[in-house]
Amino acid sequence: MADLKTATFGGGCFWCVEAIFQEVQGIEKVVSGYSGGNAPGHPTYREICSGLTGHAEVIQLNFDPNQISYEEILIIFMTTHDPTTLNRQGADAGTQYRSVIYYHDEQQREIAEEVVKAVQQYYDDPIVTEVSALDVFYEAEDYHQNYYRENPNQGYCNYVITPKLNKLRKLYSDKLKA
C-alpha cells in the first residue's frame, strides 16, 4: 500500500462532505470531526452546535496520492458545496458550517490557495473559504461516522446529501469508486 496522505476540510454539515468523499477513488478513510476552535479539551457535538467553541464541522481523510492528487480532492470539494456563503450551507447556519481548508503543510497551503483562485471563475460571488493551518482534529461521536451510509432514507439525507451525490456522479464519474 502506498504512503497515505491526510487532508482536512469542512463545507457545511460533515455528513455531506463525508458522503461525497466516501465515493471517490483513492480515498481510503473518511472521518467526521471538529477543528478550528478554541474550547479546551475534546468538544462535543452539542458544544459545537452552540457556535460558541469556534470549531467547524470537518472531515479528515486519508488518500493515496498515486490515485488522486490533493489538488483533485480540493477541486471536488470546492465544486460540491457552495464556497461563497459565509458560515452557511443551505439551511445550516453558523460558524460551525463555514467553508474551510485546513492544510497540513506548506505544500498543501500553496495548493489550496491556487485551487481557491482557480475555481473563483466558476462562481459569481467571491469565495469565502478559509485556508488555515490545522491545529487539532477531534473525531466526532460514533453516531456521526458513516451517517449517510447508515441513514440514507433519513429526511436530511434525502433532501440535502442525495442531490450532492448526484452532482458528484455527474461531474466526476471518472473519479468514483467502482
User: Is 16 assigned a catalytic role?
Assistant: no
**What is the number of helices (H) and of strands (E) in the chain?**
7, 8
Rounded-to-integer distance, Cα 106 and Cα 169, Å: 31
| From 13, 16, 49, 157, active-site residue | 13
Rounded-to-integer distance, Cα 98 and Cα 139, Å: 18
Cα separation values, 148 from 16, 24, 155, Å: 8, 15, 11
For residue 89, list its beta bridge partners. 92
Three-state DSSP class for 140? coil
Angle in degrees, CA 25, 31, 32, rounded to 5: 125
Nine-digit cell string for 2? 502506498
Asked if residues 58 and 30 have their Cβ atoms less than 8 Å apart, the reply is no
Three-state DSSP class for 105? coil
> What residues are labeled active site?
13
